[in-house]
C-alpha cells in the first residue's frame, strides 16, 4: 500500500455557511486542514470588521478542541465599505483580505460591487496597507461560459495596470485564459484552483442529463480548459494553490427549479486533489500546492504538522448531514483512491 506524508494542508477558499450548518461544515474542513480562508458572502454580507469577528467567533464555537485549525477571514468589499474599515482590516491578524463579488455573479452576491471603478479609492487604501484583494472574476452581461475570460480582459487587466503593487488572488479559476493571464502577471497576482475544476469539465455537468450537484460558479468549462488547469496546478508555479470553493447547499435547494450553484467537497477535499495529482503522475507536487504556495502568498509560515494519505479506496457517501437537513457531496457514490490515515 502506497502512502505519502504531506504538510497539513490549507484551504484558501471555503464557504462554511452559518447557523446550524456550522456544526458540520467547520469539522469537515478543520479535521484535516491547518488553516482555511472563510468567505464572507452571508446574508447580510459581512462588510464590517465587527461582523467578521462575530462570524469567526461562531465558527470557533463549533471547532472541536482536538483539531489544530485556524480560520482566517475576508471582508465583503462593496461601495459601502469605508477606508477606515479597511485600515481596521489591516490591523486585524485574522482578516487576510477583502473579497470582491461583482453584483449578481454568484450565491449571495446581491450586495456585490456595481462597478469596479467605484472601488478605486478603496483599492488605493488596500495597496497602501498591503491588503490582499480576492476576486470572483466574472462579468454578468455575457454567455456563462465566457464570463471569466471577459472579466480578465475588461476588469482585471486594467486593475493590475492601475494598481501594480496590489496583491490579488483570482479565485477558483476555470479557464485556460485565466491560467495564461496569471502565469504572465507579476508575482503580486495569484490564483486558487478547485478540485472540481481539476477533475471535471462541462460534460460531467451536462452530458446525459443535467447533474445539479456538479453545478458551480464559475461553471465547469471545456476539456481544454480543464487540461490547462491541471497543468497549472502541477507545474510547481507558486502562483497557483489550493482553494476548494466548497459551498454546500441542501439537497432540496440543489434538486429544485433553482438548482443553486455550489458543490460540497470539503470532507474529501484532500482525497479529491490527491486523486487527480496521482492520476496525472504528479503526486509529488501535491504537498507544495496544498501546504506551501498559498501560505507563502499570504505571508504566513508553513504548517509544522503533517498528515498521512494512503492508497486505500473508499466510496463517497450519497448524503451527509448539513444542519437540520442533508447535502449531497461532490461525486456522491463514486470511489476515491486516496484516504487519510486518522491518528489512533
**Residues with a known catalytic role:** 245
Kind of pairing between the strands at 306-310 and 95-100? unpaired
81 near 59, Cβ under 8 Å?
Answer: no
Could you give the CA distance from residue 50 to residue 89 in angstroms, rounded to a whole number? 10
Name the strand (E) or helix (H) holding 151.
helix 147-151
Could you give the CA distance from residue 243 to residue 296 in angstroms, rounded to a whole number? 14
Could you give the CA distance from residue 344 to residue 176 in angstroms, rounded to a whole number? 43
Task: From 69, 81, 82, select the one nearest 40 (Cα to Cα).
Answer: 81
Kind of pairing between the strands at 320-322 and 325-327? antiparallel
Task: From 234, 236, 218, select the one nearest 175 (Cα to Cα).
Answer: 218
CB atoms inside a 10 Å sphere around CB 320 = 19
Could you give the CA distance from residue 17 to residue 9 in angstroms, rounded to a whole number? 21
Each residue of 246-280: b (16+ CB within 10 Å) or e? Answer: bbbbbbeebeeeeebbbbbbbbbbbbbbbbbbbee
Amino acid at each position: 500500500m502506497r502512502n505519502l506524508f504531506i504538510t497539513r494542508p490549507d484551504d484558501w477558499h471555503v464557504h462554511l455557511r452559518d447557523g446550524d450548518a456550522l456544526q458540520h461544515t467547520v469539522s469537515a474542513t478543520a479535521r484535516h486542514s491547518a488553516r482555511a480562508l472563510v468567505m464572507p458572502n452571508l446574508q447580510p454580507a459581512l462588510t464590517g470588521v465587527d461582523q467578521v469577528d462575530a462570524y469567526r467567533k461562531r465558527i470557533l464555537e463549533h471547532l472541536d478542541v482536538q483539531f489544530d485549525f485556524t480560520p482566517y477571514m475576508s471582508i465583503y468589499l462593496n461601495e459601502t465599505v469605508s477606508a477606515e474599515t479597511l485600515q481596521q482590516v489591516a490591523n486585524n491578524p485574522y482578516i487576510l483580505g477583502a473579497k470582491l463579488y461583482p453584483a449578481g455573479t454568484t450565491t449571495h452576491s446581491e450586495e456585490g460591487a456595481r462597478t469596479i471603478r467605484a472601488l478605486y479609492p478603496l483599492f488605493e487604501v488596500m495597496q497602501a496597507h498591503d491588503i490582499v484583494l480576492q476576486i470572483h472574476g466574472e462579468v454578468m452581461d455575457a454567455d456563462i461560459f465566457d464570463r471569466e475570460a471577459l472579466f480578465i480582459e475588461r476588469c482585471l487587466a486594467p486593475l493590475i495596470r492601475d494598481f501594480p503593487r496590489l496583491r490579488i488572488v483570482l479565485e477558483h479559476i476555470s479557464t485556460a485564459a485565466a491560467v495564461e493571464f496569471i502565469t504572465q502577471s507579476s508575482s503580486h497576482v495569484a490564483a486558487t484552483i478547485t478540485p472540481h475544476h481539476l477533475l471535471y469539465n462541462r460534460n460531467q455537468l451536462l452530458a446525459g442529463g443535467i447533474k445539479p450537484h456538479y453545478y458551480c460558479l464559475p461553471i465547469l468549462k471545456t476539456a481544454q480548459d480543464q487540461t490547462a488547469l491541471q497543468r497549472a496546478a502541477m507545474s510547481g508555479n507558486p502562483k497557483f494553490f489550493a482553494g476548494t470553493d466548497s459551498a454546500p447547499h441542501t439537497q432540496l435547494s440543489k434538486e429544485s427549479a433553482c438548482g443553486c450553484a455550489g458543490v460540497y467537497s470539503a470532507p474529501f477535499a484532500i482525497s479529491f486533489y490527491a486523486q487527480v495529482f496521482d492520476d496525472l503522475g504528479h503526486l509529488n507536487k501535491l504537498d507544495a500546492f496544498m501546504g506551501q504556495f498559498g501560505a507563502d502568498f499570504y505571508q504566513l509560515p508553513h504548517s509544522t504538522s503533517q498528515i498521512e494519505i494512503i492508497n486505500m479506496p473508499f466510496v463517497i457517501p450519497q448524503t451527509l448531514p448539513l444542519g437540520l437537513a442533508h447535502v449531497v457531496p461532490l461525486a456522491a457514490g463514486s470511489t476515491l483512491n486516496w484516504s487519510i490515515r486518522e491518528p489512533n
